[in-house]
Amino acid sequence: MKLGMLTACLPSWSLDRIAHWARETGYDCLEVAVWPETGGRDFEASHLDVARFGSAETEATRTLLDRTGLEISALAYYENNLHPHPGRRAEIRAHLKNAVDTAQRLQVPHVGTFIGRDPALSIPENQREAERVLPELVEYAGERDVRLIIENCVMEGWHPDGYPGNIAYSPELWEWMFSLGLYLNWDPSHLMWLGIDPVTTIAPYADHIVHTQAKDIELDPAARNRYGIFGTTDKKGDPWATGWWRYRVPGRGQVDWTATVDRLYEAGFTGTLSVEHEDPLWGGTPEKVCAGLKIAHSALRPLVIS
């Protein structure tokens, strides 16, 4: 197992700067954000321009990795592949293919994304649509020796009522998406607020967990008793506001990382545990983000034998 970090939390830094900082801090791998420059949401970044990634960019990236001793565990483009607007869906599809092409050039084994959802349709209706459009993407990736990995993030902010906006949030749905040739980028934080014990989900799906994200979560059960599991309806303009939980860096929340890493080892996991930093207490400036990443490293490094 290797310890990595998702670069999206440092959108203003170059990949070169992130790589040198990560190496000095003690990380082994980078999960590299590859959104387009026009992404615009929080926790998105464009650290490789996959739309214009040629021989010169390939050589420069390989040189950076050789110089720092790091590996790229995955490319990250987490978008809604079932977007209801045909034009936007086509843009997402094209960019995801560019990410796959870049992964092939760099011999990166995984590209991470979301299944997504059309919020106007039921989950079964979205499943039928996914069965129509996703196999071609899986085949495209497979022809280039790349796996598409789906994070089990709920993406509740994509639904007007805070319901799941990415239909990959439960083991029941994982079993369905595995049948399409997709793999899992397993993240325990999302399972926690849904009431699913994350540790119990590792062994049954170990063959399909090929990458993991280390994000912690802080829960407030008293507030949940007021709002319910899907959170407050008064979001004050922030679609991601729930009122009863927030993400934390590993070691500052309620995920049992000792049990989690131990169970991953027991299941034979040999991939990357990649820190995804979305902790509001350790955000806002690159300096605070780096402090949060150091906290995460301190919590996880003793557990991960690389």
- Residue pLDDT, tens place only, 184-194: 999 999 999 99
Q: Domains of the chain by range and CATH?
A: 2-300 (3.20.20.150)
Average pLDDT over residues 139-163: 96
pLDDT in tens, 249-275: 999 999 999 999 999 999 999 999 999
Residue 17's pLDDT is 98
> H/E/C letters for each residue in 225-283?
HHHCCCCCCCCCCCCCCCCCEEEECCCCCCCCHHHHHHHHHHCCCCCEEEECCCCHHHC
Given the structure tokens 């300096």, which residue do they identify? 287
Calculate Rg over the CA atoms of the chain: 18
Q: Report the candidate in 107, 112, 118 with the shortest Cα–Cα distance to residue 274.
A: 112
Given the structure tokens 């998105």, which residue do they identify? 44
Average pLDDT over residues 234-249: 94
CA dist 91 and 96 (Å) reads 9
Residue 37's pLDDT is 77
Q: Kind of pairing, strands 2-6 and 71-80? A: unpaired
Q: Report the candidate in 9, 12, 52, 45 with the shortest Cα–Cα distance to residue 27.
A: 9
pLDDT in tens, 16-51: 999 999 999 999 999 999 999 755 667 899 999 999
Judged against a pLDDT cut of 70, whether residue 141 lies above it is answered with yes
Please state, for a pLDDT cut of 90, what percent of the chain lies above it: 95
Task: Please give the model's pTM, rounded to 2 decimal places.
Answer: 0.96
Residue 42's pLDDT is 74
